[in-house]
Chain A
């Protein structure tokens, strides 16, 4: 697995940059129908998720997490990069069916918040799930202030 880090410019909120973008345009209505059928009929067709994969975003006290379902991908075929305040996840899955071999590419771009320490981002891949941990800067963590009352 490759983990590339770049500088941290201004980023805004934690919402996938391409969550609905590109899919719900008028010109792409045919693609949309294909996508719906693909999703309903499932199978391994890349159209099932338009080359994308499901992503979860959640956070706790110290970190923000990005979790992606990427079954059947080898670790060295996953690349996680932070570019321009966005997290980019790319993966390639090779499939062998008989003698022919095909490769499927997936990618997802996710906007990450300002307060992430981009130099401390880590990623783990287990059971087909990639979890990227984005630690928050000290000052953005919730602080407990005790006020003494006299």
Chain B
């Protein structure tokens, strides 16, 4: 649970000074296994080229631009989605090994495997 408490989404809008840029916060889910945390983020319309994942100073930042936008001469009849770029910022403590983050993007879903640091893994203590 400590990870979940530490993994508090920070308000990303505060970052932009002056003009407010519309940003879409994607749906995401975190699962935990013994060795890692699995982060699943829904990024519909984002291709590999438009995706950026950075981990710096305990801040995991995922930003994605939509690859498909409406054709220029299109007349919009009804709109429910948004072309605004996705951005998700999660903060974490040092229980994650930043060198061991695996990312896979498939069908608009990003799967991140965040390996736990050795010190954070559960360990069996033998009673002598």
Contacts and interface: CB of A to CB of B under 8 A. Distances in A.
Interface residues of B, number: 30
Interface string A51-83: 000111111110011010111111000000000
A70 B44 contact: yes
Interface in B33-92: 33, 40, 42-47, 67-68, 70-71, 73-81
Contacts of B40: 44
Interface stretch (B10-18, B22-30, B94-102, B114-122): B22-30
B7 interface: no
Given A71-B42, A72-B107, A60 B71 contact: yes
Report the interface size class on chain A: 20 to 34
B43 A55 contact: no
13 contacts: A14-B77, A43-B27, A44-B42, A54-B81, A56-B70, A56-B79, A56-B81, A60-B74, A70-B108, A71-B42, A72-B107, A72-B108, A125-B107
